[in-house]
């Protein structure tokens, strides 16, 4: 990740992460760099820095591992079938809780919210996930206030989005929140994403 | 690519292809596999099968090279800055014209249409591209009938889409055309992509 002193966004990738959950926000945040005063940079990182095979078979090589991605302003945590293994690993959930203390905004896409729930990050908070998985969210933590209407739920330091393509909308929202409505509109216009 | 006898979709990837141009259609066509009677499979391929660095820095490892991807029903050709090098290579344009003879549907995303134009695939046809690049399209081939309103233009064997995110809409359209409206709706619902 470029060390330009700007706003730093890291997208965590893992075996079985859903393709568009990863690349939708990546595209938005990378395009933001061409329109912004905040010098945002976006990068992918896997647990150990090695390549991953996403949920539908696409293989990507992340730029970093968790050890060398460095401090982030925003962590994006995608969904996908791979979350089921991660949320069952105590060490991974401990890592999520540790990262959460250092990272101003934790943002999940789709079933990435299940890992957040398992780590206790959503306790007593409003949140959303892919529409097929609301029950799993409350099974993991009954105190979560599931929003079944929103495309994303911004609860300040923790932001969750609905399924897959909703991650694009959440990322555009974060651009608006962190910079301005005008800049978010420019990014949306440039990637020709329809109004939400 | 799986040789299951079903409908085969190949996404050509190259250095400087735009991330969401590649992964938007990939996600749609991969999800289609879970809803379809046509056993569609989608795969990425690069010119020589080696890894590529996309326009905004994401590195991916394609499943195939052009020599071993095999016959395709649909070829998806993304846009991105990398198209500028490709459309200046006579050998690449010759390859595109050869592939076009063997492939029922040639589908470009964003500035991928510039390569199609340079290869002569859009002569006298309606087509579109990213909204910043209409003039380049007609500079390459003044006989192209540029549609500045559509999110995608389906001219039968050649389909072009507008910028970046429009590739998702074009892919959903192809699912509808090749199978049914109901199946396309199921895919859109599953990836929670808003109505176009």
What pLDDT, on a 0 to 100 scale, did the predictor assign at position B5?
80
pLDDT at B87: 96
- pLDDT for residue B21: 97
Does position A3 have pLDDT exceeding 80, yes or no? Answer: no
Q: Is residue B1 part of a domain?
A: no
Chain B residues whose CB is inside 8 A of the A61 CB are: 51, 59-61
B190 touches chain A (CB under 8 A): yes
Q: Best mutation site among B40, B50, B53, B57 for testing chain A: the one with the most A CBs within 10 Å?
A: B57
B164/A18 touch (CB, cutoff 8 Å), yes or no: no
Q: How far apart are CA B6 and CA B4, in angstroms?
A: 5
Which pLDDT belongs to residue B195?
Answer: 82
- β-pairing, B158-161 vs B152-154, is antiparallel
Share of chain A above pLDDT 70, in %: 97
Q: Does residue A45 fall inside a structural domain?
A: yes
User: Distance between CA A21 and CA A23 in Å, rounded?
Assistant: 6
What average pLDDT does range A11-40 have in this prediction? 97
In a domain? residue B107: yes
pLDDT of residue A183: 97
Within the 89-148 window of chain A, which residues sit less than 8 Å (CB to CB) from chain B?
130-131
Q: Beta strands A52-53 and A59-61: pairing type?
A: antiparallel
Q: Counting one residue from A and one from B, how many pairs have CB atoms under 8 Å apart?
A: 105
Distances (CA, A) of A29 to A12, A169, A171, A179: 14, 11, 7, 12
Q: If you measure CA to CA, which chain A residue comes closest to B194?
A: A196
- Asked whether residue B39 is domain-assigned, the answer is yes
pLDDT of A5 reads 81
Of B44, B58, B190, the CB nearest to A44: B58
pLDDT of A135 above 90: yes
Q: Please, which residues have CB within 8 angstroms of residue A95's CB and are 6 or more apart in sequence? A: A66
Q: Which residues pair with A11 in a beta bridge?
A: A44, A76
Q: What is the pLDDT along chain B (196 residues), one digit of tens a residue?
A: 445 689 999 999 999 999 999 999 999 999 999 999 999 999 999 999 999 999 999 999 999 999 999 999 999 999 999 999 999 999 999 999 999 999 999 999 999 999 999 999 999 999 999 999 999 999 999 999 999 999 999 999 999 999 999 999 999 999 999 999 999 999 999 999 988 6
Q: What is the mean pLDDT of residues A99-113?
A: 98
Residue to test with chain A: of B9, B15, B22, B24, most A Cβ within 10 A: B24
The answer to the question of residue A1 being in a domain is no
Task: State the CB neighbour count (10 A cutoff) for residue A27.
Answer: 32
Is the C-alpha dihedral spanning A36, A39, A40, A41 positive or negative? positive
Residue whose structure tokens are 């990740």: A1
Q: Are B14 and B162 in contact (CB under 8 A)?
A: no
Q: Determine contact, residues A176/A187, Cβ cutoff 8 Å.
A: no
Q: Do B162 and A190 touch (CB under 8 A)?
A: no
pLDDT exceeds cutoff 90 at A57: yes
Q: Is residue A21 part of a domain?
A: yes
pTM for the structure as a whole = 0.96
* B69 part of a folded domain: yes
Q: How many CB atoms lie within 10 A of CB A184?
A: 21
Residue A11 φ/ψ, nearest 5 degrees: -110, 115
Number of CB atoms found within 10 A of residue A28's CB: 28
Partner A contacted by B30 (CB < 8 A): yes
In contact, B69 and B41? CB cutoff 8 Å: no
ipTM score: 0.95
Name chain A contacts of B190, Cβ cutoff 8 Å: 163-164
Structural domain contains residue B2: no
Give the whole-angstrom CA distance, residue A191 versus residue B110: 9
- Which residues on B lie below 8 Å from A24 (Cβ)? 20, 23-24
Domain housing B90: 8-190
* A36 CB within 8 Å of a chain B CB: no
A195: pLDDT confidence band, cut at 50, 70 and 90? Answer: confident
Contact B23 A18 (CB under 8 A): no
pLDDT score of B51: 98
Judge whether A168 is closer than 8 Å to chain B, CB to CB.
yes
Alpha helix (H) residue ranges in chain B: 19-32, 83-86, 90-102, 112-118, 134-140, 166-178, 181-190
A111, A94, A101: which is closest to A47 by C-alpha?
A: A94
Domain count of the fold of chain B: 1
Residues from chain B that touch A164, judged by Cβ atoms under 8 A, are 27, 190-193
- The CATH number for A174's domain is 3.40.50.880
> Could you give the angle at the alpha carbon of B45 between the alpha carbons of B26 and A56, nearest 5°?
35
């Amino acid at each position: 990740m470029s060390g330009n002193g700007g706003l730093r966004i890291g997208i965590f990738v893992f075996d079985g992460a859903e393709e568009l959950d990863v690349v939708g926000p990546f595209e938005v945040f990378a395009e933001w760099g061409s329109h912004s005063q905040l010098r945002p940079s976006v990068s992918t990182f896997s647990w150990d820095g090695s390549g991953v095979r996403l949920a539908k078979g696409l293989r990507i090589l992340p730029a970093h591992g968790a050890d060398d991605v460095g401090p982030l302003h925003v962590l994006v945590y995608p969904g996908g079938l791979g979350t089921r293994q991660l949320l069952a690993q105590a060490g991974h959930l401990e890592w999520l809780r540790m990262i959460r203390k250092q990272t101003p905004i934790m943002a999940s896409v789709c079933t990435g919210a299940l890992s957040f729930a398992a780590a206790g990050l959503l306790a007593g908070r409003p949140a959303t996930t892919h529409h097929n998985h609301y029950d799993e969210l409350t099974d993991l933590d009954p105190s979560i206030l599931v929003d079944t209407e929103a495309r994303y739920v911004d609860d300040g330091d923790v932001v969750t989005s609905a399924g897959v393509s909703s991650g694009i909308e959440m990322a555009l929202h974060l651009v608006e929140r962190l910079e301005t409505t005008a800049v978010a509109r420019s990014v949306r216009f440039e990637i020709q994403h329809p109004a939400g």
